[in-house]
Amino acid sequence: MKNKFLSQLFLFILFVICFACRSEENGIDTAKEIQYCSSQALLTLTEAPTLESIPNAIESGTSEWCYAKPGSWTSGFWPGILWYLYEGTGDKAWQNAANRVTTSLLPVTRKAVQTHDIGFITMCSLGNGYRLTGDEEYKAALLRAADSLAVLYNPIVGTILSWPRMVAIENWPHNTIIDNMMNLELLFWAAKNGGSSRLYDIAFRHAEVTMKHGFRDDYTNYHVAVYDTITGNFIKGVTHQGLSDDSMWARGQAWGIYGYTFVYRETQDIRFLEFAQKITDVYLSRLPKDGIPYWDFNASEYSSTEPRDASAAAIVASALLELSTYVADQSTAQRYRREAESMIAVLSSDVYQSRDKNSAFLLHSVGHMPRSREVDTSIIYADYYYIEALIRLQRLQQGKNVIGNK
């Protein structure tokens, strides 16, 4: 009897040890992955010819960055990466580098706004910079940017105009793309930090209208929602970067998931949380086994060799980590976090990390498939949301707030 007990005890201890080893084996070493990003970013810093040469993309089969200028819609992601590296490592060298590049974007906030992208440009760079340093010059620039973005708001429609040039080119009287959800964070931030309360109202209304018209009944996104400027009525939903007007463009659905997650954070309106879950669930239900979507979910219907989009996966992984902290049902919350960790693990594998191929963090993203631009490439915003996801996961592992001190 005693021997049987000892035998069972031994097997139980062996099981616990094996389980612990398995958990550690499957866990994500965020410090290690952040260090990988640091090494890659250091290479990029040495390659960039000037401070105003903003890394944008590395075409497939090459190893050199194509650069954008301050004011490009992607110009905030590189300084944002540098801020996250400072946050993740505590190394002042990253703070100094981030300050230098971020300062090059300040003039952009003094110009009349041209598109909705001012939110992307400023919140990733100046927003993270202000969050981590409290620099008053950054704060003033963010408030200017928010006021500029508000100029594009149409109170009859209830949304922010995305592409003024498309009014004539495509005959879209008032167009609002799903990407625009991401820029609402700038308005919410400004309303809490000295800006007009009207900025909150604009962001709230934009989210409401987009929730009603920017998605189909099955909770998949339209890339572009077109409205009548006289009546405010919804005219049609179309695509610009997706496969078709009726398909689910992966990055668009990712923008929606991320956007409605922080809209709930800022408003505490349960409708936005419920909607974030609905558009998340349809995304998760249609993913390939490895958790990295095809550039458009409907593209796989035509060929299993269609390009994947690591950028969409990185955006959703980061969003799910935050969303998991708001969901009351613990089984759902845990499922969202597991999904996020699984996506991060795949993105951290040999298949998706750039490593010795180039100085980006990730491979296999898609920018604009219909125009054959940046297809199966390394893209700066994929890297940004990947490092953000790592920082958020690191904070959760440490028992901290997932979004820092925002």
> Binding site residues, as ranges?
117, 179, 237, 239, 251, 255
179 is catalytic: yes
Q: Which two tokens stand for residue 237?
A: 């939903």
Contact 229, 157 (CB under 8 A): yes
The packing angle between helices 184-192 and 197-213, to 10°, is: 150
117 is catalytic: yes
Closest CA to 383 of 62, 72, 74, 66: 74
Contact 309, 386 (CB under 8 A): no
For 319, which DSSP code? H
Alpha carbon distances (Å) from 338 to 2, 156, 316, 379: 41, 42, 12, 25
d(CA 162, CA 135): 29
Q: Which of 117, 296, 376, 383 is catalytic?
A: 117
Q: List the beta bridge partners of residue 238.
A: 224
**Count, residues in the chain:** 406
Q: List the beta bridge partners of residue 368.
A: 373
Q: Which two tokens stand for residue 82?
A: 């540098």
Report the binding-site residues for substrate.
Answer: 117, 179, 237, 239, 251, 255
Q: Which of 179, 309, 376, 383 is catalytic?
A: 179
Give me the active site residues, please: 117, 179
